[in-house]
Structure 1
Amino acid sequence: MSASVRECLQLQLLEMEMLLSMFPNKEDMVINGVNLLSIVRRYLEGRYESLPPSIDFYVFVKIEDLKEKAELHVSLPHTYPTMEPQLFVRSTALDKLQHNDLNKCLAAYITSLDRGELCITNAIQWLTDNISSYVEKSKHINGNGAALKTCSTTFHRMWIYSHHIYRQELRKKILDCAKRLNLTGFCLTGKPGVICVEGEKDHCEEFWRDIRYPNWKHISCKHTESIDVTDAMDSLRLFQFFEELIFEAHGDYGLRNDYHMDLGQFFDYLRKHQSEHIFQILFGIEGKF
C-alpha cells in the first residue's frame, strides 16, 4: 500500500488518541469494531497484511438545556485527512427538516476547511456551538416544544447468515449501506458470517436487496422480527449503532482458510444485547458457552 495511505492512518491514530483523551467516558465516545485501533496499529507495524477496516465511531455531544445528547457519527476514509471524513448527526430532538439542514451545514463547514488538516475536533466544536439553534427551530415548527412524533411505521429486525464474509469491498458496502439507511446492528466477518440490521422496515428491506445482489449465492435471511410503532423507534433497538465485529481468537484474518470466528465470543456478544435466542436459529445448536 502506498506511503500516503500509511501516513494518513498514522495521523488518524494520533487524532483518535486526542479524541479519546477528550472523551474518556465510554458513554461519550464509542468506536465501532472490536480492537479496531489495535488492528490499525498492527497494520502500520507490518504485523497485519490486509488493509484494516476504516475507523468508524460515534461521539455523543451534549445539547444545551436538554438532558439528551446528539450522536455524531464519524467514518474516516483510509486517505483522510487528504479526503473529507463522512459525518452524520442524528438526534430525537430534531425533526426531519432540521436533521437535513444541520447535516448539510456541517458538510459545508467541513468542505470549507483545508484538506490535509485533521478536522474532527473542529466538527465536534461546530456541532456543540450550533445544534441548539436547530433544536429551537424544531420546537417552534412542532408546537413550542411538544414531544416529537413520527408517522406510523414498522420497526423491523433481520438476522442474515452467510457462508463467509471476507472481502474488503463487501464489508465496506455493508457498513456504508447500513449507515446510509440509518440501521443499527452488526456485521460479523469471517467464516461463517452474520449480519443483523434493525430500523424502519422499508430501510431493512432495501439493505437486503442492495447487499445480496447480483451474485451473493451463499446468504439467507434466517429470521425477522417486526412491530408497528407510532412514536420514535429508538427504544426498540438492541444495538446503539452499526458495527463490524472481528473476533481474532482463531487464526489470522489475513489468511482466509485459517480464520474462523469464535462462537463463544459471539454468543457472549448476543447475550449482552438480549439476543442469545437467535444463536440456535442461526446455527441449529443451543448456545452454552
Structure 2
Amino acid sequence: MVDSLKSKIDEVELLLSMFSEDEIKLGDKKSYLNIKRHAELNVIPEKTDVDFVIKLKKKVELSVVLPDGYPSWNTHHPVKPLITLRLLSDNSILGMNIRELSSHFYHCHHIRSPIKRRLILEWSKELELTGCCMPGRPGLIIVEGEETKADEYWRRLRNLQWKHIQLREKEILGIGLYRIRRFQDGFHELTLSQQSWFSWLHEHGVTSEEYRHVFGIPGRLPQNEQQ
C-alpha cells in the first residue's frame, strides 16, 4: 500500500512539474502535503485521496480525483480515477449559450383530440424539446430540454381545455449542452400498449420505480424482455 501511495504521489508531482501554477490547482494542498509526508515515513495516513484541477488553454477545465487505493489494481473491485470535463464560464468560446436543462412528466385523463395531438408535436419541435407522448387513456407526455422552453411548453399545454392534466414531476437534468438527455432523437408520438410504452421508456433510462412514482402505474416489461 505504501508503494501504491508513493506511485500516486509521483504521478501528481510529475503533473505539477508539467503545468504552471495557473494551470493546475490542488483541491486541498494542506492535505496533499500531509499525505506526502506520511509516504516519506512509510506510513499510510487516514485520508489518501488526491484531487486537482487542470485548466487547458483557459477553455476547458479537467477535474480529477485519485481515490484511496489508486493506482493499485489488486482489489476485488478495481479502483478507477474520477475525471470530469467541463467548459469554463466563457460561453462565447464556441458561440454557445449554456442553459439549464430539465425534464417534465405530464399525466392527462386522456389524449384523443387530433388538434391537441398536433399541437403537442408542433410545440415540442418549435421549442426544441425532445421526449414522447402516449395518446389514449391515460395520456402521458414527457419532454426534455432548456428549462425556460419546457416551462413555456407547460404554460401552453395547461391553457388548452383538458378534463384533467397535471405536471407530475419536474427534474433538473443539469447545466450544459453536453448533459446527456434520456431522449436524444427528437419527440415521438407512441401508439403502444402500456407494457410496450414502458419498455420503450426503459430503453431510454426510465426505471420501473420512476414510472410508478410519476404516473401511478406499475412499470412492467413484456414477459419476453424480463431477465
TM-score in terms of structure 2 length = 0.52
How far has the Cα of 1:241 moved from its partner? 0.4
Q: 1:157 aligns with which of 103, 126, 130?
A: 103
How does 1:1-289 map onto structure 2 within 5 Å?
148=94, 150-229=96-175, 231-233=176-178, 235-247=180-192, 262-276=193-207, 277-289=209-221
CA contact (8 A) 2:168 2:215 kept: no
Q: Distance in 1 between matches of 2:156 and 2:162?
A: 11
Q: Distance in 2 between matches of 1:147 and 1:243?
A: 33
Query: Please, which runs of 5 or more residues in structure 2 have no aligned partner?
Result: 1-91, 222-227
Query: Please, which runs of 5 or more residues in structure 1 have no aligned partner?
Result: 1-145, 248-261
Structure whose CA Rg is larger: 2
SS of equivalent to 1:186: strand
Q: Deviations over 1:251-282 (max 9, x none)?
A: xxxxxxxxxxx221111011110012432023
Change (3 A) 1:186 1:285: closer
How far has the Cα of 1:287 moved from its partner? 2.2
CA contact (8 A) 1:155 1:233 kept: no
How far has the Cα of 1:233 moved from its partner? 4.3
SS of equivalent to 1:199: strand
Question: Which amino acid is 2:187 matched to?
Answer: F
Q: Deviations over 1:212-235 (max 9, x none)?
A: 214324100111111441x32463
SS of equivalent to 2:180: helix
CA contact (8 A) 1:188 1:244 kept: yes
How far has the Cα of 1:285 moved from its partner? 4.2
CA contact (8 A) 2:129 2:186 kept: yes
SS of equivalent to 2:166: strand
Structural RMSD (CA): 2.1
Change (3 A) 1:243 1:285: closer
How far has the Cα of 1:198 moved from its partner? 0.5
CA contact (8 A) 2:182 2:204 kept: no
Q: Distance in 1 between matches of 2:217 and 2:133?
A: 20
Question: Which amino acid is 2:109 matched to?
Answer: H
Larger proportion of strand: 2
SS of equivalent to 2:171: strand
Q: Distance in 1 between matches of 2:132 and 2:161?
A: 22
**How many aligned positions are there?**
129
CA contact (8 A) 1:152 1:228 kept: no
Larger proportion of helix: 1
SS of equivalent to 1:190: coil
Q: Distance in 1 between matches of 2:179 and 2:136?
A: 29
Q: Distance in 1 between matches of 2:111 and 2:217?
A: 21
Q: Distance in 2 between matches of 1:163 and 1:278?
A: 19
Q: Distance in 1 between matches of 2:121 and 2:217?
A: 28
CA contact (8 A) 1:183 1:242 kept: yes
Q: Deviations over 1:98-144 (max 9, x none)?
A: xxxxxxxxxxxxxxxxxxxxxxxxxxxxxxxxxxxxxxxxxxxxxxx
Change (3 A) 1:148 1:243: same
